[in-house]
Structures are given as structure tokens and as C-alpha cells.
A and B are shown apart, each in its own frame.
Chain A
Amino acid sequence: MDKKVLVAVSGGVDSSTAMMLLKDQGYEVIAAHMKMWDYAEVGGESRRDGRCCSLESINDLRSICTAHNIPFYVLNFVDRFREIVIDNFVSEYRAGRTPNPCILCNTHLKWEGLLNKALQLGCDFIATGHYARIVKDDKYSRYIIKKGLDDSRDQSYALWGLTQEALSRTLFPLGEYRKKDVREMAAKYDLKTAKTPESQDICFVADNNYHRFLKEWEQKEGGGGKGFRPGKIVKENGEVVGEHKGVAFYTVGQRRGMGIAHPTPLYVKKIDPESNTVVVGDNDDLFTDSMKVTKLNWVALDNPQEPFRAEVKIRYLHTPAKAGIEPHAKDTVTVRFDKSQRAVTPGQSAVFYDDDTILGGGVINSSKK
């Protein structure tokens, strides 16, 4: 085949297995690890050891690559990552929204920054260990992203931002396999990384303590305390029920950590940074029927102008909900759910599926009953 592919490797089992698969399939493989943050900057390091992106796993990667004659490079994306992902992460929380940094990392760091690098190095494709599939589809005559074969492990949700140009240059070797097959393959290849535990949290918050991270970042970078000033927690009718520590520390649907004594459980329903208040309600109040989604990217569909139906995921861990989608001018759609959905959260990504195919996606802007 002799086609050249740059595989983005994290040190985890998926990307290493993807790399070996591609080599077996006859591609000329180059492995690249993206360095995106410094422990010194983001803190929480002690929990990182042995996980993907840790020094240990990188060393394991290096020895796998040496053993199989695969050139291995570490590429420095720290500045861009800070600008594009971390700064956005902090400013979204400050604005009372709940960000999904993996989306920005995929769309801009991997499928722009790393892709450019790969092309500069004469590669035809980049590949990752993402559990998803790409198909050049006749029905849509575009590159489409499909869920991985094993629905329960599907990672397509985080890929909605990829452009046609990016997709035309991408390989996802693992999408056709079941997750347990992947671990078996890793063991067969005798990969040291086969033992690397999976990471579910945000990669640059190693100890999963977002509050710590946000506080430390604010102290370092300043920002006038926006989002970190205490304010009132109120019910919909305006009744004050408590004090919040700063809107940055809350997310829609949150129940714990509010310090409110109340006969019935109260959940965060809305965050209003303008008035610096957090609005709470009971569980029923969390259900909304429609939402507005912006910052759209179309995958299988090509900038649709007419309404259409889809199954919509509003969070990574969410069962897609049937809805009608109405495009408006200026990069906005209104999504009307057949059944009300719980805790629709501004800042999270909404991804529109047609069965296992991604039609497109965007960022949730607001929701209402």
C-alpha cells in the first residue's frame, strides 16, 4: 500500500492498538504524541502516574515504537492547547456554561494542528484510536462519521466538529471491532500499554478536581474574579434559598455541594452570570422541551435549510432523544424534543444522529419548556 499515516498516540491501549493494526495493514506508520499541557501549569499530577499521557506510558510507547521500527515523535502543542482549550474551558465556566473541552481539542488541535503537521511530513492520513467509523457515503455523497460497531463504547460524540476536509484524511482503524476484541488484539501484539487504565476524565485535570483547577487558574491568570464571586441561590419565584461560591462552580442538574437546607431536593436549573445568581428548582423543573444550538458543523448533511428529524444526544452519556430540528439563519437551529429532556446544559454539545450516523452538531445555547 505504501500510504503514509501519522497515528496520534496517547499511551493508552486504543491508540497503540490502532497503530499496530495500521502497520499490519501495510501503511507506513509514524507515531506522534501530542504534548498539550505541563504538569507544572495544570497541577493535580500525582493521580496521573501510569495513565495515558503520563511519562510512564510515553516511555512504554517509545519502546513499542522502537521494537517495531516506527518513528516516534513528541510534538509540542502546549501553547495552542492553552489558548484554544484551557482558556475556553475556564471562560465558559465563568460564563455559567458547562464546556466540553474534548470537542475543541479534537476539532482544532488534532484535526487542524496535528493534521497540518502530518501533511507537512508527507503523510496521506492521520489516525486515532477513536472508537468510531468514517465512511464515504453514496447516499449523502459526503464523508460521514458513524458510531463504532460496539454502540456501548462509541466515541463518535466528540467528533462532531470535524470538517469534510479533515475527514477525507482520517482513518479510525478500531471502529469496526468490538471493545473486547481491541484488548485482545493489544494483548496479542504484546503491548505494554495494554494495561493502561482508561481515562474518563478531562485530561488536563488529572485529579478530576475541577474546582481546584478553576481556582488555581484564576489565581494565576486573573480575570477580575468574574464567575468566582459569591452570590445568591434563588428559586424561580425569586425566593433566596442560599449562597453560591461563584457561578463557575455549578452546572445544570447539579444537586450536591449547594449547602442548602430544604425539605425537598433542589437542583440547579439555570445559571445567570449577569445577575450572578444560580436558579434552582425541583427535579420536574429540570425538564425542557426545546433548545437552541449554535456554532454548528454539518457532517452527513450539507448545511440543511429545511427542518428534519434526528436523534439528539445532549451529553456524552445520554441516550439519543428523538427530535425535530429547525434550521434558522445565522448558524442556529431550534431542537424540539418529542419528549422533554432532563438538564439540558448550555455549553455542552448537541449531536444529531440518524441511527448510527452523525448528521451534524453544535453547542447548546439555551433551553426552554
Chain B
Amino acid sequence: MTNPSQFIYLWNLTDVFELEVFLKQIYLDNNSTTPLDERVLEAMLPYLKEVYGNASSVHNFGREAKTAIEEAREKIADLIGADPSEIYFTSGGTESDNLAVMGTAYYKEKKRNHVITSAIEHHAVLEAVKFLEKRNFKADYIGTDEAGIVSADELKEKITDQTSIVSIMHANNEVGVIQDIASLSEIVKSKGAVFHTDAVQSAGKIKVDVNELNVDMLSMTGHKMYGPKGTGILYIRKGFKLTPLFYGGHHEKRRRPGTENVAGIVGFAKALELAESLRENDHKRWAELSELLIDGIQSKIPDVFLNGPRDARRIPSTVNLSFKAIEGESIILSLDMKGVAVSSGSACTSGSLEASHVLLAMNVPVELAQGSIRFSLGRFTTREDIEYTISVLPEIIERLRAMSPLYEKSN
């Protein structure tokens, strides 16, 4: 299987056999997206080529496509502890989040008009809640402690019997902090509200089981787990209803009309299956590699701080570091020129100099928040990738700090 994170370009093989070796390319931005696993591509190909029928058609072409979707649905349900009838296919995490939050809020509007989420959610949830606020729903954003753990006390305080839905992400995309969803669920259920969790970053990395988590709705997307972009699911527990976002045909019990992305759905199922089988090994590997990365950097560079817990409450493949007194953007561009791909904040807000809302919610001081970089390891990340990164970073940070008016070398 090819390892996409390290490759050397062979360019201009002329008569004189001149080889131009391009810079190593190292991908440490897996939280923003992941490469398509070869095995997922294999699984999808027939559904991009020979099996092209519309899954709603009566004839054989349609039936073949329909079978593929239903098999995928069963596989996915099985992997997350759900019933196939509780799995709905969407275009990805953003759509699933919007459907859960807005769909529930609108459905319950007459009797309950309050929604709750956390201050560290992905924009796909935050923006949906902000939109609802403009439409006369009331909203609360629960804060976290400095490790990024959502405050159960504040949730208890803010939730009322007017609350229709609470949405708290399972694992955070920027710092990797994992919430104790099961405990939070008790608080939510006690008031009869719906509990949704965005499991986009946790799926395929830690155990995601809807019964263990005790949630009513759950979002997942394919492209964070070596599957295709443009596909995702929303789990909706039996008995729970919502107002759809789309109107049209009868697909997905009318909750999500639209001709199904068969290849995407098959790919998603395969990606989830693969991820589950590799999860424990990958987890061990990431724990080791991330410690190597953090130690390597902190031993060579002073004034570097990890954002998020340095224990089992963090997805180990996510390493968010703040470099005191310099701008994250300059570090990212400099690393890019050395062939290392990382990000700061979330992909959605890159290019903006605003400090990440997640770090600010965690009380990270603004100057440190602006100097934060997220390294997110993946299935194909090797020890050499980490070692190379550790080797190129000190010179970059030194250069930037030498130019920074804010940095004073502590003796």
C-alpha cells in the first residue's frame, strides 16, 4: 500500500538522467482531512463504474445500487451499536450537524425554544445555533475549564425544561480534548432534551458507540477517516423526530431526500470498517509518536505549551502547541516551505488572524492563542515524519522570535 505522506518526485528524466529531487512532503494536517485509503477506493470503484443505477429505481440497475446502500447502512449501524433504521446518509459533518440542531429545534419549537451547545464546538454547530438565535430561539454556550472539558455544572445550571436540544462534540478538532459524553447525557436526559454529539473527530480514533455514549443523535463524516469527501451520516435514535432541511423525494424516510451518493456511501462504510479494525494499533502508535513530537519540540525550543490535556482525555493524534511571542501564520508558511503541512485554528478559519475560539474558551491568553499550531498525525504518519519535523522547527522558531518585538529570552 502506498504511503502518501512521503514521496519523492522524479522530474525531468532527461537523456543525461538528471533527477530533480523535490522537497519531502509531510502531511500533518489529518484533522482537516485525510487521504483516501487505497482499500476504500477499491471498494468504491464498482459504484463509480459498473453499478450506476439510481438506488430508487425498480429495475435491476437500481436494485444493485440499493443493495449496496443497505449493506453499507447495516455495516455502519453494527459498528456504532445502532439499528440500520437509525442511520441516515448526508453530505458530511456540516450537514449532519445542521440537520440535528436545526431540525430538532424547529421540530420542538412550539413547546421548547432553548438550545444549548458548548463554546468550543465546530462552526458547523455554532453557526447553526447563532442562526437560530436570530430566529428568536434562546441559546446558551457552555464554557470549559483550561483543559477544554465542558462544565457539567454550568450545563446543569443552564438546562431547563424549555431546552429542546443540547449539542456537545465528542472530540474537539483543534486540541483533541474528549468530553465525558455519557455523564453529560444524564444531565440532558433528566430534562427531557435531545442530546446530539458531533463525533466527526472521534470516529475511527476512539470507541464510538451510541449506547455507551447514550446519545440521541450523532454526526460522522467520511473524509476524516480515510474515506471520501462529501459523505457522512446522522444517527437518529428510534422515536426521535426532526424537521428536515431538504424537501423532495422519499429517500431516507423523507428525512434527507436526494439521490444517494452510492459510491460515497459504500466508501464511508468501508472507511469506518477499516478504521475500527486498525483503531487500537493506530491509537498506540499515535500515543507514542505524539509524545515523541511534544518532547522533541519542547526539549529543543523554550516557551512551547501544549493546549489540551496531556492524558487519556485527549485524542493522541492531535497536538496543538502554542509558541510564545510569534504568529502562528508565519510558522505555518515557514513549515510549508520546508514541506511540512500543519494548520492553526481550524481549516475553516485559516487565513484569519483571529485567535481560535476554542483556545480562548480554554482561557489560553490571546498572545499564546495566536501562536498556536495544530499537528494532527494520521494513519500514514511515520516516525521519520516526526523526526524531520522536529529537526526543521527550531531554526524557524528562532528566526521568528529574533524578529518578534514580544519575545524576551528568559535567562
Contacts and interface: CB of A to CB of B under 8 A. Distances in A.
B336 interface: yes
Most chain A beta-carbon contacts within 10 A, residue among B333, B352, B399: B333
A120 B399 CA distance: 7
Contacts of B337: 30, 71, 121-122
A364 B352 CA distance: 36
Range of interface residues on B (Cβ < 8 Å):
10 to 19
Contact of B353 (A76, A120, A121): A76
Contacts of A121: 330, 333-334, 337
B1 interface: no
B353 A79 contact: yes
A223 B327 CA distance: 33
Contact of B403 (A30, A79, A116): A116
Contacts of B327: 120
A75 interface: yes
Contacts of A75: 329, 351
Interface residues of A, number: 14
B306 interface: no
Nearest to B352: A76
Interface in B390-404: 399-400, 403
A295 interface: no
A266 B265 CA distance: 74
A317 B279 CA distance: 68
A212 interface: no
Interface of B, secondary structure class, is: helix
B399 A122 contact: yes
Nearest to A119: B403
Interface in B380-411: 399-400, 403
A32 B50 CA distance: 45
A116 B327 CA distance: 12
Contacts of B403: 116, 119-120
B355 to A, nearest CB: 12
A122 B397 CA distance: 12
Nearest to A79: B353
B334 A122 contact: yes
A207 to B, nearest CB: 26
A71 B22 CA distance: 14
B353 A117 contact: no
Interface in B322-352: 327, 329-330, 333-334, 336-337, 351-352
Interface in A105-148: 116-117, 119-122
A195 interface: no
A119 B399 CA distance: 9
Contacts of B329: 75
B351 A74 contact: yes
A73 interface: yes
Contact of A120 (B336, B351, B352, B400): B400
Contacts of B351: 35, 74-76
A71 B336 CA distance: 9
A73 B333 contact: yes
22 contacts: A35-B351, A71-B336, A73-B333, A74-B351, A75-B329, A75-B351, A76-B351, A76-B352, A76-B353, A79-B353, A116-B403, A117-B330, A119-B403, A120-B327, A120-B330, A120-B334, A120-B400, A120-B403, A121-B330, A121-B333, A121-B334, A122-B334
Interface of B: 327, 329-330, 333-334, 336-337, 351-353, 399-400, 403
Interface of A: 30, 35, 71, 73-76, 79, 116-117, 119-122
